[in-house]
Structure 1
Amino acid sequence: MKFSIINRWIAAGLIAWALLLVNCTKENYTSTTTSDVNIVGYLRNHKDSFSLFQQILEKTEFSNFLNAYGKYTCFAPTNQGVQKWLQSIGAASIDAVDMDKLKDMVRFHVLNDVVTTSLFKDGKLPVPTMYGQFLITGVAVENAVSSYTVNRQANVIQSNITVGNGVVHTIDNVLQLAELTIAGQLAKDPNYSIFVEALHETGYFDTLNTVYTDTAWRFKTVFAESNQVLADSGITSYAQLKARYSNKHNPALVTDSLHIYMSYHILPTLQFLGDIITLPSQSTLQPQEVISVKSLNQEVVINEDEFNGVLEKGITIERGTSDNAAANGVWHHPKAHYMVKFRKPVALFWDVCTFPEIVKQPGYYKKTNLVFAKPSQEARPIASIDWEYKSASASVTYSYATSGTINQSSCNNDLFLFGFGLPNRSSWMEFKTPPVIKGRYKVWICYSAVNAVQTNVEVNGVLMQRPVNWGEAKPSGTDNQLESVGWKRYTSNTTSYRPAGRLVGTIDIATTGIQTVRLTALSGSNGAMYLDMIHFIPVDDPQFLPRFGTDGLPVYQ
């Protein structure tokens, strides 16, 4: 059915405008002036290029809905591309191909939304195909000419052909859907034979060789270490891998170190590289163990973390050989061997004023004040810090001074200044910490006492046992006396009454990684809060040492 001219303009006017987020899809696009009002109409009017694909649509009856109003994206293979596909599967004609195979082929070339090349990136598209698998796009350069690629199998030879019910991208080959599982794909590649044998021995091969009907269990993500990667670490056979890690001599046991090694390389959800970098950490199948994630110089790097001022170099993921879609997930290729690190709890003495947005500005950091404006609730001028937007709390301030009664005693002479309190200023403030190793910790809020606002503290959603009154000064007494009532002197300054370390409670950190600290105002008029540090100290460690000087260095006496 074809639209009239009037209907065509109505249809064009109804196209949605939306933003691309992590899982978003729809975007604004311009209506075409072509007389082809839908995808099927366009293909019919260009039989020289698409008669075979059009024949497949008719035979499978997919032309019915692609001929009606809607919002679709069609990757249309040319006649030459379809002919190559028929030859590759040993079919003399379209009629010789199994109907289910034809239907799956069409579903794999159609998206139930409009996706133009403005949404193409080095990774998966934001919407799955109607088959349920995602397509991966990239850019290839040949003879100094660049073109988009799809699934590393086809080149886009004409793009963004906009019609009344969506958009068409012409491709030079038929896209091959992933029929093998993750385990099946790895088993076919001799470069992963050691890793595959470890999958068998630990029982994970069956897990990764199953396509579950329950979508909550279906998809997995695997970081598969190649034989070469293992050889670079001194492992040239499965026997050597087992000798290094199998401390229980039974890899099938969940407590065996080889089993832990494998479970730490598997994520429980579908995570292409473009998805992985949207979060600072990703859960693994090893309980309470995560991989941290960073994007460094356009590379995806896992487990590059700083503990106690020591940077632990991470593992780079090879982009060109990763994002391998399978019937039950995706697998990636790390460039180096890695194992989960079991660490003892270590204290985190976190100077809140060391967030990247200020540290990377040498003209301001440790020199002068800088205001970070938040024009709306959605705005995030500081990636690791968020707060309730109100007109009276539309900004926070990096406060620095070497004189005066507030900053002169603080760590590094700087403080994080924010408006807090009821009823007109922010009622909550939330911080993402640097990585904390799992364990049991006492949590201290270190501040400069100015305005009396009573505040609850939560860590990862768990309410701490004691609130903080930001106007309450540290009492007098010895270190032991102060600690017995939940106080400490956290700076090396011995004269000012303002710096106060307040014990808010004890928390069990279940998972190593970034934690969330949330402050919620309970009572008190609008006030300016001066936060300096947050300490996570293992419960068995000394709590009042070290102290910190105005140079930021710890003092252990």
Structure 2
Amino acid sequence: MKQKNALLAISILISLFAGLIVSGCKKQQFREDTTTDVNIVGYLEKNIDSFSLFKQILDRTDNSAFLNAYGSYTCFAPTNGGIKAWLAATNTASVDAADINVLKELVKFHLLSDTVSTAAFKDGRLPVPTMQSQFLITGVSFKDGSSSYTVNRQAAVLRSNIKVGNGIIHEIDHVLVPSSKTIAQQLEANPNFSIFVEAMKATGYYTLLNTVDPDTAKRWMTVIAESNQALADSGFASFAALKTKYSNTGDPANTADSLHIYMAYHILRDIKFLGDIINASTHQTLQPQEVISTQLINQDVVVNEDIFDGILEKGVLLTRNISDNAATNGVWHQAAAHYMTKFRKPAAVFWDLCSFPEIMKLPAYYKKQNYNFVRQNELDKPIKDIDWEFKSASTTLTYFYSTSSSLGIYQYNNDCLVLPLGAPSRATWFEFTTPVIIKGRYKVWICYNARNAVVCNVRVNGDLMQRPVNLGEFRPAGSDAELESIGWKRYIESTGSNSGYYVSRLVGTIDIKTTERHKLRLETISGTNASNYLDMIHFIPVDQNQLVPRFRPDGTKVY
């Protein structure tokens, strides 16, 4: 009986204690927001004298509630003066009188689904598209001795990087107007490109360039257009003259016809503003196995300026102030002169493994600090062009950056990739998509920081290279010629005390059969649970110097 009474007392005490906990929980107040800062709409309301019209547009398009909620956005907010100028230019009496669909598209064109500060404002497109799906381009203008950021060549940034609870605001002085025409329509509307447009129609490419694919992965194109003047300077005063020169089959729609090849050679897949074009040395065109080479020379973007057999072939300038023309399906640039496809000799590709878009669009980390790319599951792919075996200890690929650590002090750009390799719990393979490589025969060099002994086979497009690479093996002693004879080289310029860790190992020779991007795969043979540090991979034609250029941490090539 005493035992029953004791159990009953304990039960009552537990019930009372639970009741107190529940009562206490009911009285506790929780905040659902994560900051006490105002959100985007709150900021506009606090500065209503400057932004009453933009706030009115948000209200009318039912976007105010959306932009007053939790999230992570960038808003380019036009002032009242900018909106009044837009209303006047479009002969619209007021915000209430404007076409509601136009206003909806306008709002989406002023918003990004990410926080982008002016640290990402470069001479070219922003790293993420607007909610309207087109990209914004930024630059710098100089007026009356002062400089300011510009957006889409339509507006100046008056005040930037205004942090609010759900993102960043940039105040601008004019409304940003999205493109309403395709590449084909824009060029056709410009009489200076009438010959080029006739060639587009004759070859069938007008239809392609006049299409807005609903799938944004397939939508974007880039065109390098030649004006009537550029063609006339090369002896083509009319489309008839151009056809007579190039249409060797008489049918420009025939893919084997030289006029068809000419047009295909002026079109690139994907959207590439000038800032994107100079980020790679070659770009694949729609003409199979043919690329254009590009480089930045004294702030000029130049196409196809190359040295063949020791002779410099002058390239063609892309006219900056008439390029970067955004369209609903891509962008087009103007070439200052006429050019045609030509045979391309194999060219060296010095591939920086850290120059992939997913890290480059993070200006707070790229060339500044470490960043981890984490795979949430086997299907997750945080980096488009890098894949690896998903295991418990290989969920993270690290972008490593340091100007002082022995791991990064001599690396190209002071950064490298940290790969979790080795059995049993780390990845046994990594696969990379290369930059465009021109067809030819190449020697392949793996450049790494020697730390942990994981031995890997290397495959290019599935073909096994002749020699595995031990990512923990140091460079042996010897002269450049002696080292090259046994498959080693020094790829960095420095000869400092830690430079011996930085190794370039020849893994073999490969025939690249088509001019395009290829697959390179590392497969572990031995080694357990290690972190390995990869910097660059070199594809160098077999008949070219394999030892130079060497590289400095700032990217300078040393011959």
> What band does the TM-score fall into relative to the shorter chain?
0.5 to 0.7
Shift of 1:260: 0.4
* Matched residue SS, 1:260: helix
Structure 1 segment 15-414 matched on structure 2, within 5 A: 37-342=38-343, 381-382=411-412
Pair 1:184–1:521, CA change in 2 (3 A): same
CA distance in 1, matches of 2:313, 2:60: 58
- Cα offset for 1:105? 0.7
User: Any residues of structure 2 matched to 1:1-12 within 5 Å, and which?
Assistant: 10-11=34-35
Q: How far did 1:254 drift?
A: 0.7
| Distance across 2 between alignment mates of 1:128 and 1:375 | 36
Rounded to whole Å, the distance in 2 between the matches of 1:147 and 1:223 is 28
Question: Structure 1 residue 136: deviation in Å?
Answer: 0.9
1:536 alignment partner in structure 2: 542
* Partner of residue 24, structure 1: none
Letter of the structure 1 residue corresponding to residue 87 of structure 2: L
Q: Deviations over 1:62-94 (max 9, x none)?
A: 001111122211111111211221222222122
Cα distance, 1:304–1:86 mapped onto 2, change above 3 Å: same
1:77-127 CA-to-partner distances (Å, cap 9, x unmatched) read 111211221222222122222211111011111111212222211111112
8 Å contact from structure 1 (residues 444, 536) kept in 2: no
Change (3 A) 1:380 1:547: closer
Pick from 515, 524, 540: which aligns with 1:511? 515
Per the alignment, do residues 87 and 437 of structure 1 end up closer, same or farther by CA in structure 2, a change over 3 Å counting? closer
Q: Which amino acid aligns with 1:257?
A: S
Alpha-carbon distance in 2 for matches of 1:165, 1:233: 54
Q: Which letter does structure 2 place at the counterpart of 1:125?
A: L
Q: Offset at 1:216?
A: 2.6
Give the AA of the match of 2:156. Answer: N
* 2:332 aligned partner, one-letter code: W
Deviation at 1:334, TM superposition (A): 2.0
| Pairwise CA distance, 1:518 | 8.2
Secondary structure at the counterpart of residue 226 of structure 2:
coil
Deviation at 1:298, TM superposition (A): 2.9
Determine the C-alpha separation between the residues in 1 that align with 2:254 and 2:100. 45
Aligned equivalents of 1:100, 1:460: Cα separation in 2: 48
SS of the equivalent of 2:222 reads: strand
Contact 2:455–2:468 at 8 Å: present in 1 too?
A: yes
Inter-partner Cα distance in structure 1 for 2:206 and 2:539: 47
Cα-to-partner distance string for 1:167-217 (whole Å, 9 max, x where unaligned): 221211111100000011111111111111111111111111111112232
- Alignment TM-score, normalising by the size of structure 2: 0.64
Instruction: Measure how far apart 1:302 and its partner are.
Output: 2.5
Q: Cα deviations across residues 260-313 of structure 1 (Å, max 9, x unaligned)?
A: 010011012111122222333221111111122323333322223333443333
Query: What is the number of equivalent residue pairs in this alignment?
Result: 425
**Cα gap change, 1:387 to 1:520, in 2 (>3 Å):** farther
- Cα deviation for residue 47 of structure 1 reads 2.0
**Percent identity between the two aligned chains:** 52
Aligned to 1:406: none
| Structure 1 residues 68 and 428: alpha-carbon distance in aligned structure 2, compared to 1, 3 A threshold | closer
Contact in 2 for aligned 1:316/1:335 (Cα 8 Å): yes
Residues 305, 435 of structure 1: 8 Å contact kept: no
In 2: Cα distance, 1:320 partner to 1:436 partner: 30
Q: Shift of residue 379 of structure 1?
A: 8.2
The 3-state SS of whatever aligns with 1:235 is coil
- Offset at 1:500? 7.0
Distance verdict in 2 for CA 1:84–1:389, change over 3 Å: closer
Post-superposition offset of 1:455: 8.5
Deviations 1:463-507 (A, max 9, x none): 25x55899xxxxxxxxxxxxxxxxxxxxxx9xx999479996773
Q: Secondary structure, in 3 states, of the residue corresponding to 1:101? A: helix
Tell me how far apart the structure 2 counterparts of residues 351 and 127 of structure 1 sit (CA, whole Å).
Answer: 27
Q: Secondary structure at the match of 2:35?
A: helix
CA distance in 2, matches of 1:314, 1:139: 26
Residues 193 and 227, structure 2, Cα contact 8 Å, conserved in 1 = yes
SS in 2 for 1:56: helix
Q: State the SS of the aligned residue for 1:333.
A: strand
Amino acid of the residue matched to residue 507 of structure 1? D
State the distance in 1 between where 2:435 and 2:218 align. Answer: 31
Deviation at 1:431, TM superposition (A): 13
Three-state SS of the structure 2 residue aligned to 1:141 is: strand
Shift, 1:458, TM fit:
4.4
Moved more, 88-97 or 124-133: 88-97
In structure 2, what is the Cα distance between the partners aligned to 1:547 and 1:73? 48
Residues of 1 paired with 2:102 and 2:253: CA distance? 38
CA deviation after TM superposition for structure 1 residue 459, in Å: 4.5
Closer/same/farther in 2, CA of residues 280 and 374 from structure 1, 3 Å limit: farther
3-state SS in 2 of match to 1:161? strand
Deviation of the 1:319 alpha carbon: 2.1
- Matched AA of 1:96: A
Matched with 1:15 is: none
**Alpha-carbon offset, residue 381 of structure 1:** 2.4
Counterpart amino acid of residue 411 in structure 2: P
- Is the 1:273–1:300 Cα contact (8 Å) retained in structure 2? yes
* Alignment correspondent of 1:542: none
For 1:119 and 1:503, how far apart are their aligned partners in 2? 38
Q: Which amino acid aligns with 1:184?
A: Q
Shift in CA distance, 146/248, structure 1 to aligned 2, threshold 3 Å: same
TM-score normalised by length of structure 1? 0.64
What is the distance in 1 between the residues matched to 2:278 and 2:102? 35
Distance in 1 of aligned mates of 2:222 and 2:241: 25
Cα deviation for residue 438 of structure 1 reads: 3.0
Give unmatched runs, 5+ long, in structure 2. Answer: 1-29, 351-402, 446-453, 471-480, 488-505, 528-537, 547-559
Structure 1 pair 379–60 and aligned structure 2 pair: CA distance change class (3 A): farther
* Alpha-carbon distance in structure 1 between the residues aligned to 2:266 and 2:184: 13
Could you tell me whether the CA contact under 8 Å between 2:76 and 2:110 is conserved in 1?
A: yes
State the one-letter code of the partner of 2:164: V
Aligned twin of 1:412: none
- What is the distance in 2 between the residues matched to 1:49 and 1:339? 52
Closer, same or farther: CA 435–96 of 1 in aligned 2, 3 Å? closer
Whether the 8 Å CA contact 2:252–2:258 is kept in 1: the answer is yes
